[in-house]
Structure 1
């Protein structure tokens, strides 16, 4: 059997991975002005960079919000589609090696998918994610460049803008340590430096996603959350999610290819009778 190509088509960014003998290889991402350009650019670059002939590709699996723009087979290769939530779950399960977990897909917004073995179901989502981070950064910092905002945030101090339990109570509250956040941005001043504002914006987005995932898990018996999507690349994840683990007694996992899990899942969906 030849290679199965999984492609997660966004509005401007496309992620692609090849699956050979059941193993993902050399994932890449391409950004372009529109989904069609992004898709075909990513496909061509993937084949070129990995010295793969078009005849070696057996099937293409598409997923993502931009997949609907593609009405025909890609480069003449038989092409099918996979529901994005299923692709999220399959990719996260494969990468994390967890059969019972909530997949937290941190994209423009954030979705939650419950995995119990072969059973995968979308259980909700929130309108907080990368889009929120970009929009607030554009308004407050004059840039939507996530790398620039992250670099600014690394020089800022979150406690300078957030109100902590220790700021309002002389003693820890039940289940809440003194350094837990009482109110996001409640301590921010009108002349707060950009570094602290950047730290506050990133902290708000990641803390909200983490807390919402814990609420989504209530009553399920699940204590494992698998984080996927572009926001997992933020260095602030290494500080914020471990603190949430201690607070909520849960486990957050960021797989090796967290950014590409949806594309991996699309490829894995081939032959499972869940592709379209």
Structure 2
């Protein structure tokens, strides 16, 4: 089999990854003002930077909200579209020794995809994600630079923003340690530092996502949740999700190339012949 290129086309960001018999090749991300510019820029840069000949590419697989704008061959290569939720499931499951799981795709908002054996099913989601962090940061921090927000949050103290169990009770409640969140932003005031506010925003979004997928899994035996998307790379994930693992007896996994897993799933869909021409 020649190389299969998987491309996840967002509104302004395109993620691209190659797959062949040797495995994953050269993941790359490109930003542009619109999905078409982003797509063609990403693909051109990808093949140029990696010295890939067009004749070595067997198929180009597209997914993501921006892929709807593409209805013709890409640089003369055969293309096909695949469902984004299917791509999430296939990509998240790749190389993980898990049979059943829920994929938590953390993008602008967050979607949940259940994987049980070979069955992949979208089960819902929440309108909280990276878009929430950026929107609240514009309002409260006067910036939409996610890197700046993350660095500010590292210096913040979450106990100065969130109301915790220990603030309202002198003993731990069943299943709730004293440092569990009772109310996000429950202690915020007009004197709160920008760093504390940044920490509060990121903690609120990540906690909401984690707690939501735990609730989504209550009627199943699934206790493994795979985090993919750009937010999975936030350093705060390494602090927040282990706390929820201990509280709720579950497991959150952040796989290698987490931000590229949807693009990877698009390529794998072709390998499994699960694409939509």
Same fold (TM > 0.5): yes
1:25-80 CA-partner distances (Å, limit 9, x unpaired): 11000000000010011111110111101111110000000000111111110000
1:227 aligns with 2:224: no
Is there any run of 5+ residues in structure 2 with no aligned partner, and where? none
1:77-115 CA-partner distances (Å, limit 9, x unpaired): 000001000000000000433221000000000000000
Question: For the residues of structure 1 that align with 2:89 and 2:214, how far apart are their CA atoms?
Answer: 17
Question: For the residues of structure 2 that align with 1:236 and 1:177, how far apart are their CA atoms?
Answer: 20
Alignment-derived partner of residue 53 in structure 1: 53
Q: Is the CA contact (8 Å cut-off) linking 1:165 and 1:179 kept in structure 2?
A: yes
Alignment-derived partner of residue 248 in structure 1: 248
When normalised by structure 2's length, the TM-score is 0.98
Question: For the residues of structure 1 that align with 2:75 and 2:96, how far apart are their CA atoms?
Answer: 32
Alignment-derived partner of residue 62 in structure 2: 62
Give runs of ≥4 in structure 1 deviating > 3 Å: none
Alignment-derived partner of residue 163 in structure 1: 163
Alignment-derived partner of residue 177 in structure 1: 177
Alignment-derived partner of residue 11 in structure 2: 11
Alignment-derived partner of residue 275 in structure 2: 275
**How far 1:131 moved relative to its partner?**
0.4
**How far 1:272 moved relative to its partner?**
2.8
Question: For the residues of structure 2 that align with 1:273 and 1:40, how far apart are their CA atoms?
Answer: 24
1:142 aligns with 2:145: no
- After TM superposition, list the pairs within 5 Å mapping 1:256-267 onto structure 2: 256-267=256-267
Alignment-derived partner of residue 211 in structure 2: 211
**How far 1:273 moved relative to its partner?**
3.8
Q: Is the CA contact (8 Å cut-off) linking 1:106 and 1:130 kept in structure 2?
A: yes
Question: For the residues of structure 2 that align with 1:137 and 1:97, how far apart are their CA atoms?
Answer: 37
Alignment-derived partner of residue 190 in structure 2: 190
Range with bigger deviation, 169-178 or 94-103: 94-103
Q: Is the CA contact (8 Å cut-off) linking 1:95 and 1:257 kept in structure 2?
A: no
Question: For the residues of structure 2 that align with 1:135 and 1:147, how far apart are their CA atoms?
Answer: 14
Alignment-derived partner of residue 88 in structure 1: 88
Residue 71 of structure 2 aligns to a residue in which SS? Answer: coil
Residue 44 of structure 1 aligns to a residue in which SS? Answer: helix
Root mean square deviation of aligned Cα? 0.9
When normalised by structure 1's length, the TM-score is 0.98
Question: For the residues of structure 2 that align with 1:23 and 1:168, how far apart are their CA atoms?
Answer: 52
**How far 1:190 moved relative to its partner?**
1.1
Question: For the residues of structure 2 that align with 1:161 and 1:36, how far apart are their CA atoms?
Answer: 41
1:100-133 CA-partner distances (Å, limit 9, x unpaired): 1000000000000000111000001000000000
Alignment-derived partner of residue 114 in structure 1: 114
Question: For the residues of structure 1 that align with 2:5 and 2:241, how far apart are their CA atoms?
Answer: 32
**How far 1:274 moved relative to its partner?**
2.5
Question: For the residues of structure 2 that align with 1:275 and 1:37, how far apart are their CA atoms?
Answer: 24
Cα distance 1:130–1:140, how it changes in 2: closer, same or farther (>3 A)? same
Question: For the residues of structure 2 that align with 1:147 and 1:123, how far apart are their CA atoms?
Answer: 31
Is there any run of 5+ residues in structure 1 with no aligned partner, and where? none
1:132 aligns with 2:132: yes
